[in-house]
Structure 1
Amino acid sequence: MTALTVLLADDEPLARRRLRALLARHADYDVVAECEDGVEAVERILALRPDLVFLDIHMPELDGVAVAEALAAEAERGGAVPVLVFVTAYDAHAVRAFDLNAVDYVLKPIDVERFDRALARAGERIAARRAAVGSGDAPAADAALRAVLAELRPASTYPARFVVRDSKGLYFVRADEIDHVDADGNYVGLWARGRRHLLRETMKGIEAKLDPARFVRVHRSAIVNVDRVKRLEPWAHGEYVITMEDGARITSSRTHGTRLQELLR
């Protein structure tokens, strides 16, 4: 049988070395890449399409939660994504989220028996996915993964970057470069450096991932970076016309006006 391909994503060289050594005991797994940060992990995962990824939660540039969110979005678009096993130092909140949603994980320092159990379960999930594809069933985002990500995100730092894809390729949009956000059906538009990048996300979801000290919801379909507000003009009934540095004009709703005023004081 062809060996199953594995990618290791962890910013600690010793942790990657430990994972590689544990995998070397299993001849049916082949490590095809190692990544030191989340940005590199997303790029290599989408390029190599490994069967399995050991994903550290705490990584620079793009954390493991953001990487997993990008992969879940890829699955919803019909793309093939790997089985994920999270790697983390002990974190009571994360462990509870994993246990409640039956998403597999290993704790640092990594125990051999726990690793082998996680690997065996990952192998079963890979086999089940292959059988589903063989029967013609389209891949779908893992509901358990979505549930655990929803629990982990509030406890995580706000992501420094967002992963977006279009017909030309993959983009990493830095959060601090976002001027404003608007709604577009099942997507949101991230406006940064004069370009609009579509991200499959809800307004509520993107709002939770942006630092509330810098970003404010001014309308049910608009979020602005307060540092990029050029002018604020009173309008009718407690509403405002907001002119952004990039020239965009956005009208706030009355229900969101108070929060905007607080941040601009």
Structure 2
Amino acid sequence: MKIEIRIDPDCTEPRAIILTAAVTREVETAVNALRQSGPGLLAGLRDGRVELLEPDSLLRIWAEGGRVYAAAGQGVYTLRQRLYEVEQTLDPTRFVRISHGEIINLRRVEHFDLNLAGSICVRLADGTVTWVSRRYVPRIRAMLKL
């Protein structure tokens, strides 16, 4: 992909134009990266305080008992957003949904265990073990190029 940057002192807001013969995966990735608004911080509640969570610090985000939680290096936080809303704010190249109720940070995965039954066990950097649901196994296998 060729990238060209033009400096225009009269420009009040950055503008991106993508010229392409067809919409490819590479183009979609570039468009998604450009659409990411702001730093992608999440507001998490813990001990009566609201803390800003950097996406890099997140291990996993999951829904349980009608609430959404985020595990970060500092502990577990309650989020006020729904899981699908959180998913929309996160970088899709770094975060992946592994079940109806859970999203993991790929950069915080220690390893994936594939068993003969076809399921996938995920061990995160903090030692947490979680499972990819049957519905999401093909997506994860494709992402891992297995």
Shorter-normalised TM-score: what interval? 0.5 to 0.7
Contact 2:71-2:77 at 8 Å conserved across structures: yes
1:247 corresponds in structure 2 to 127
Structure of higher RCO (CA pairs closer than 8 Å, 6+ residues apart): 2
- Displacement of 1:160: 2.6
Greater strand content: 2
Deviation at 1:258, TM superposition (A): 2.5
Q: Which amino acid aligns with 1:185?
A: G
Q: 1:179 aligned to 2:65?
A: no
2:118 counterpart SS class: coil
How far off is 1:158 after superposition? 6.3
Choose the corresponding residue for 1:161, options 24, 41, 45. Answer: 41
Task: Classify 1:201/1:235 alpha carbon distance in 2 versus 1 (closer, same or farther; 3 Å).
Answer: farther
Q: Deviations over 1:31-88 (max 9, x none)?
A: xxxxxxxxxxxxxxxxxxxxxxxxxxxxxxxxxxxxxxxxxxxxxxxxxxxxxxxxxx
Letter in 2 for 1:224: I
SS state at 1:227 partner: helix
Partner of 1:262: 142
1:1-265 equivalence runs, <5 A:
155-157=35-37, 159-235=39-115, 237-265=117-145
Segments of 5+ residues of structure 1 without an aligned counterpart are 1-88, 92-154
Is the Cα contact below 8 Å between 1:186 and 1:202 reproduced in 2? Answer: no
Percent of aligned pairs with the same residue? 24
Question: AA paired with 1:173?
Answer: L
Q: CA RMSD in A?
A: 2.7
1:156 offset after TM fit, Å?
A: 4.4
2: CA distance, partners of 1:236 / 1:191: 29
Q: TM-score, normalised by structure 1?
A: 0.39
Q: 1:176 to 1:158 in 2, by over 3 A?
A: farther
Task: State the distance in 2 between where 1:169 and 1:157 align.
Answer: 25
The answer to whether the Cα contact below 8 Å between 2:59 and 2:72 also exists between their aligned partners in 1 is: yes
Contact 2:94 2:105 in 1 (8 A): yes
| Secondary structure, counterpart of 1:218 in structure 2 | strand
Question: Aligned partner of 2:77: which letter?
Answer: H
- Measured after TM superposition, the shift of residue 157 of structure 1 is 2.5
Q: Of the two, which has the highest radius of gyration?
A: 1
CA distance in structure 1 between the partners assigned to 2:60 and 2:111 by the alignment: 14
Give secondary structure in 1 for the equivalent of 2:37. Answer: coil
**Does the 8 Å CA contact 2:46/2:76 hold for their aligned counterparts?**
no
Q: Which runs of 5+ in 2 are unaligned?
A: 1-12, 16-34
What amino acid maps onto 1:263 in structure 2? M
The answer (yes or no) to whether the contact 1:241–1:251 under 8 Å persists in 2 is: yes
Structure number having the greater helix percentage: 1
